[in-house]
Chain A
Amino acid sequence: MSEKKPTSTPPSKESGFSRRGFLTSVGVTGGALTTGILTTEAPARAAAPTAVGPGPVPFTLTINGKPYKVSLEPRTTLCDALRNHLEFTASKRVCDRGTCGACTVIVDGKAVYSCTVLAIDAQGRKIETLEGISTPEHPHPVSQAFVNNDAQQCGYCTPGFVVAAKAFLDHNPNPTYEDVKHGLGGNLCRCGTYVGVRKAVLEAAKQRHGGTNA
């Protein structure tokens, strides 16, 4: 049996509809096409979409309080912009489609999967990466609690977990054990560190806010 195919990828994932394929094939600014949490603020900015690209577009990202001038194709995700172009590599690329949480950053105070946000749509927003939250010299209480409770093994999911936990505690200063299990359900670990993560988040809550629910 012979089947002539014009390209290398006839029945591949690229040919069907996927969030990822959609995101990486469009280049329209204005927020109308953003996903997830960012959409809540989209309508106001969606009034006059401007077509940009293809090809690199200069713009500025505000990361950990500092402006960074970049020139990126509009399809570049925030995750790839941080990792490939700016060396903010705490945010890891794992599933690359909004499932695992390893790329989590905080945008305007909310935890966001950076693989599902286009960098160009993050203009004008306050982006916090783990590098801006916690350093080896001045670890954030969540980072320290992860060490104390051995909430990490290979460590590849850890930065995303720490950022998600920080954002979670910002909004839920006194979580219960059950709250932690629900609140951090958006991050996946392969080594199996969840027992330590649960303890770490509760310990960090106590540290930061004097919370007593445990």
Chain B
Amino acid sequence: MPEETPAVAPDYHYPPMDQRKVIGTRVSRLDGIAKSTGAAKYNSDITPKDLLFAVLVTSPYAHARVKSVDTGAAAKLKGVTAVRTILDAGKEVQWEGQEVAVVAAVTEEIARDAARLIQVDYEVLPHLVREDDLDKAGANAKPAGESVTGDPDQAFKDADVVSEGVYGIPVITHCCLEPHGLAVAWNGDHVDYWPSTQGVSDAAADLGRALTVPAANIHVEMQYIGGGFGSKFQAEAFGVQCAQLSRASGGRPVRLFLDRSTELLIAGNRPSGYGKIKMAAKKDGTITAWQSQTWSTGGLGGGGFGAELFPYVYHQVPNRRVNHTAVSTNCGSARAWRAPNHPQASFLTCSALEDLAAKLNMDPLDFFLMNAGYTARAEAYKAQLQKAAELMEWKKNWHPRGEGSGVVRRGLGLGVSTWGGAGHGSKCLTTIHPDGTVVVELGSQDLGTGTRTIIAMVAAETLGLPVSAIQVNIGDNKYPQSGASGGSTTVGGVSASTRKSSVNAVEKLFAQVAPSLGTTPDKLEAAEGTIRVKGDPSKSLSWKAACNKLGVSKISELGENEPRRAAREGLNTGGVAGVQMADVSVDTETGVVRMNRMVAVHDCGLVINPKTAESQVMGACIMSVCAALSEERVMDQQTGRMLNADMEFYKLAGIGDIGEIIVHMDITPENDKRGVIGLGEPPTIPGIVSIANAVANAIGVRVGRVPLTPDRVLAALERRTA
């Protein structure tokens, strides 16, 4: 009988590389036209009927006790529908921008007026908002304990060359262009929730807990998100309050998206990373010892770097001493920021490695290559270093540190990365309708990485159809549960669940149509828009004719990616390497650093869509240019405030600031066999240090602190000539 379940589990493996029709081709993102015509509606764009606007009152102090909150005048203002105090008298604010009260009104202008009428009385308390000078951190500095491997003291004694340096990378914010925010309507026992979130399937449970509303009663929808980068997972304190405002306003929808300064103050940031680092080597360049005292802040909770991070990638240096101190500051809390802790660890480690190479009078390329045995994937790093060097014409363009003449000096630098990126838990439902329509549904989200497109590509490949034949439904918690987008886990998760649900569905279809083709289901394949007998394409039915055999019953099959089983199934794994190189020009009179080129070489297993994969890497390189040259949260210890909570002085690179970017995806049969691996995070890791190393190479002196602003470059040059 056709409906019999096959005795063995279906083979979910992807077809061999050379037999793929869709996977591996360059497909334009499916929502591209919606975005580039403005038709794409983000949740900050929606204006449901009777929409109210909410505006926050936030703390101007980094640390204070709320003495009183008077919302009387605000509540009386015409047009105001509800006011809520978030921090009652007696509670403490712990960072500038923390939410104190919130008001909803019929227009945003009235809500702003009402917010200004709310009187908050504070008792100001002492604060610490800077951690760059560890000596000034006092009791806010909490050492995490020492980790020692081998005998670092003896190794430093025996060393031919010892190099020491102090390096620092500041806190940066996510600066999502669509601020954090939501629209929400709480009517009776039902909540409609339109957040800007990286986790559509998880959002209902998160908000439900805070409201004590069953998650089943919360409908979440988000078709587009204007940037998250790791900062948009939770229902915010202000988000929960907006739901309460809605309920207090008779269930009218309430919308609140943070203003730019509050976005930069409270909506997430990346912890800083400072370090005093000492390294030792033999004359031939073999590294023998590592010692690091690092410190970092991620706000009140401090910033933690595990000992396993150091030295980064070149971890198996035999003798090492690692110390870390977390510094608690009165600043907005850190959140995951593309590859948490890795850009900092790469910056600190690769800066020290490059300084050691310079002291050894070695080309850092040779130095990184010869020590690759200390990495977990020596062959991968060697191959990637060589490929990047070839694309950068490293051997032709590199010169020993500081060599060269003239006002504008050119230099090259490099950095390395590693990341996991195995797929998250994900369920997908593939439905084949009797008219041939195919719908693929997941409670996932497309952060701009191209998730929609790769889902359609995997389904199309599996069903032997063009991408345009697949309807992808995501962005709604009515679809099967799929993981939040963090840790570069989405592409592995959704590709595997889509592959499995689509294989399951097409096998059901085979069972239905096999008799009419006079064969058994196992002899059939879906290819080129037909269901046909393997090896005998003359025996075939068009896709539509095959689906017509379903009568009135559609096929709906689930597929699930279970992280523990994924590697065995061969659909996705984790673990990637990456190498980036930078070519810069430094004006030694003005201190201005200009990007000439970046080269990025990354592997991520099986690459579904090289077009969007390359975009991920290019974007990450550009983010690295921002962080290396201009981007920094500047805190003022005197006032406890952020001095650049805006986009004039919190500086992102513009279209003319980035030089040229060359991306090489390491697509090989060997990498392909590993299955799909996430790519969102790894390319954000090695770029910053490659630029910092290029500047050191150009001007002959290390600028220890990024961003490499003209004042810091000039100060370093002065030290050189002093």
Contacts and interface: CB of A to CB of B under 8 A. Distances in A.
Contacts of A154: 176-178, 224-228, 447-448
Nearest to A98: B648
A136 B39 contact: yes
Contact of A192 (B35, B101, B620, B646): B620
Contacts of B653: 194
Contact of A84 (B34, B37, B53): B53
A134 B178 contact: no
Contacts of B36: 134, 139, 142-144, 146-147, 151-152, 155, 158-159, 162
B658 interface: yes
A130 B619 CA distance: 24
A32 interface: no
Nearest to A102: B177
Contact of A129 (B38, B116, B616): B38
B41 A89 contact: yes
B409 interface: no
B261 A92 contact: no
A156 B108 contact: no
Interface in B151-186: 175-179
B379 interface: no
B210 interface: no
A92 B641 contact: no
A155 B645 CA distance: 23
A142 B38 CA distance: 12
Most buried by B among A11, A90, A190, A196: A190
Chain B interface, DSSP helix/strand/loop, else mixed = loop
Interface residues of A, number: 76
Nearest to B656: A181
Nearest to B228: A154
A130 B178 contact: no
Contact of A134 (B38, B112, B623): B38
Nearest to A138: B37
Interface in B25-54: 28-29, 31-42, 44-45, 47, 53
A1 interface: yes
A2 B38 contact: no
Contacts of B447: 153-154
Contact of A99 (B224, B614, B622, B647): B647
B612 A150 contact: yes
B671 interface: no
A188 interface: yes
Interface size grouping (class) on chain B: 35 or more
Interface stretch (B117-125, B342-350, B416-424, B711-719): B117-125
A205 to B, nearest CB: 15
A120 to B, nearest CB: 13
Contact of A96 (B38, B115, B259, B449): B259
Contact of B109 (A75, A181, A196): A75
Given A190-B227, A192-B622, A196-B615, A13 B448 contact: no
A192 B116 contact: no
A9 B60 contact: yes
A196 B655 CA distance: 10
B684 to A, nearest CB: 10
A136 B122 contact: no
A147 B28 contact: yes
B123 A150 contact: no
Contact of A95 (B112, B124, B647): B647
Interface string A61-102: 000000000000101100010011001011111111101101
A2 B124 contact: yes
Contacts of B100: 8
A180 B35 CA distance: 21
Interface string B247-285: 000000000010111000000000000000000000000
B618 interface: yes
A97 B646 contact: yes
B122 A156 contact: no
Contact of A3 (B45, B118, B122): B122
Interface string A176-190: 000011101101111
Given A150-B612, A150-B615, A152-B448, A185 B176 contact: no
Contacts of B629: none
B621 A192 contact: yes
B658 A194 contact: yes
B145 interface: no
Given A89-B45, A190-B176, A193-B619, A135 B652 contact: no
B387 interface: no
Contacts of A83: 45
Contacts of A92: 42, 44-45, 177-178, 226
Given A8-B120, A136-B37, A189-B655, 13 more contacts: A4-B121, A90-B37, A93-B44, A136-B39, A147-B28, A150-B612, A155-B35, A162-B36, A162-B38, A184-B655, A188-B652, A192-B621, A195-B618
Interface of A: 1-14, 24, 73, 75-76, 80, 83-84, 87, 89-97, 99-100, 102, 129-131, 134-136, 139-140, 142-144, 146-148, 150-159, 162, 180-182, 184-185, 187-198
26 contacts: A8-B60, A8-B100, A76-B109, A94-B260, A95-B647, A96-B259, A96-B260, A100-B177, A131-B37, A131-B38, A136-B34, A136-B37, A140-B37, A142-B36, A146-B36, A150-B612, A154-B226, A154-B447, A181-B656, A184-B655, A185-B655, A188-B647, A188-B654, A190-B176, A192-B619, A192-B622
Top 8 nearest A-B pairs by Cβ distance? A90-B38, A192-B622, A156-B226, A192-B619, A154-B448, A155-B35, A153-B448, A147-B32
